[in-house]
């Protein structure tokens, strides 16, 4: 879990993923010699801060978003949320402006719903603040801010170790409206003819999806994927013997929304471990669900 802890500590709110992209490139360049196959690394100005890893002759693509929720400093001591963070007074926030490192406290006025920070000085407007990382590991669980989606990124890196054919796309902006998957999907489809996608992201523990009972395969959220493709995913999971759960929700979304609205015929399915304490500094995931997530992704990328 050392790598996961390192990922959770990197400052990368939506729109400012460059530090995590640099971390990933350094990790990939250092460790790819130990992987079964060497990927082609595609990045640069045409891809902004996103990264594509292309293995062999790909038939399917994994999408994992790099960004996190957080807050932007407005005027005075006001804060504007990035994505949909939980906003409980007392949360520790960190960041940096031209005057140095920042460690401050979130304040939420319940009456006016206004967000602000408590710090000894006024922060520069536009400064981004994220939850302070307190990574905790037990025999059964990991707990930290930003398991959504650093755990999805971590899982994709684990799959990369043995992947022979496939694309792994590390995307940006997912927590705050998306925007990068549209051009990533266009490039992947036009260059490699790939139109099967798996969304490596983290979902919710609910009354129907329990911690410790396996990775969740989502039949739908606020969007509805093509049923025949999702059924193919379920049949592969069933035959594999890997623990999994079926999720049905009417809300929520992911990088899949840009695939659903693409001009190209992408099929997609969200496959991810469930977490509790969503979008707080204390997100928690059961290790059994992490294990089944990696195991199922490896099987799916072999068989799709």
In this structure, what CATH number is given to the domain that contains residue 269?
A: 3.40.630.10
Point out which residues pair with 215 in neighbouring strands. 244
Which residue range forms the structural domain that includes residue 144?
2-68+136-303
Q: Are residues 259 and 118 in the same domain?
A: no
Q: Are residues 83 and 17 in the same domain?
A: no
Domain boundary among 116, 131, 146: 131
Count of structural domains within the chain:
2
Q: Are residues 123 and 158 in the same domain?
A: no
CB atoms within 10 A of CB 36: 11
Q: Are residues 33 and 96 in the same domain?
A: no
Q: Are residues 203 and 87 in the same domain?
A: no
* pTM (global) more than 0.75: yes
Q: Are residues 63 and 96 in the same domain?
A: no
> Is 96 within 8 Å of 88 (Cβ atoms)?
no
Q: Which pLDDT score, from 0 to 100, does residue 9 have?
A: 98
How would you write the pLDDT of the chain (304 residues) with one tens digit per residue? 999 999 999 999 999 999 999 999 999 999 999 999 999 999 999 999 999 999 999 999 999 999 999 999 999 999 999 999 999 999 999 999 999 999 999 999 999 999 999 999 999 999 999 999 999 999 999 999 999 999 999 999 999 999 999 999 999 999 999 999 999 999 999 999 999 999 999 999 999 999 999 999 999 999 999 999 999 999 999 999 999 999 999 999 999 999 999 999 999 999 999 999 999 999 999 999 999 999 999 999 999 9
In this structure, what CATH number is given to the domain that contains residue 108?
A: 2.40.30.40
Q: Are residues 193 and 239 in the same domain?
A: yes
Q: Are residues 81 and 49 in the same domain?
A: no
Q: Are residues 86 and 103 in the same domain?
A: yes
């Amino acid at each position: 879990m050392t790598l996961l802890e390192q990922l959770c500590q990197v400052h990368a709110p939506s729109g400012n993923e460059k530090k995590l992209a640099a971390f990933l490139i350094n990790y990939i360049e250092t460790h790819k010699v130990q992987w079964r196959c060497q990927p082609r690394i595609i990045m640069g100005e045409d891809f902004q801060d996103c990264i594509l890893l292309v293995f062999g002759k790909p038939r399917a693509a994994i999408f994992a978003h790099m960004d996190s929720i957080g807050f932007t400093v407005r005027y005075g001591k006001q804060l504007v949320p990035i994505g949909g963070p939980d906003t409980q007074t007392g949360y520790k926030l960190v960041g940096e402006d031209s005057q140095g490192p920042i460690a401050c406290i979130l304040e939420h006025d319940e009456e006016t719903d206004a967000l602000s920070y408590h710090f000894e000085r006024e922060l520069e407007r536009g400064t981004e603040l994220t939850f302070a990382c307190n990574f905790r590991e037990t025999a059964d669980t990991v707990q930290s801010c930003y398991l959504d989606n650093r755990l999805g990124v971590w899982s994709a890196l684990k799959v990369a170790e043995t992947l022979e054919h496939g694309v792994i796309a590390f995307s940006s902006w997912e927590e705050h409206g998306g925007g990068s998957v549209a051009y990533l999907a266009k490039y992947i489809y036009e260059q490699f003819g790939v139109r099967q996608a798996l969304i490596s992201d983290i979902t919710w523990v609910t009354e129907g999806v329990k911690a410790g009972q396996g990775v969740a395969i989502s039949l739908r959220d606020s969007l509805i994927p093509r049923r025949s493709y999702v059924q193919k995913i379920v049949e592969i999971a069933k035959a594999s013997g890997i623990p999994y759960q079926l999720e049905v929700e009417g809300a929520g979304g992911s990088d899949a929304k840009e695939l659903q609205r693409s001009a190209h015929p992408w099929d997609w399915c969200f496959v991810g471990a469930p977490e509790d304490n969503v979008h707080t500094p204390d997100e928690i995931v059961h290790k059994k669900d992490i294990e089944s997530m990696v195991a199922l992704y490896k099987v799916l990328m072999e068989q799709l």
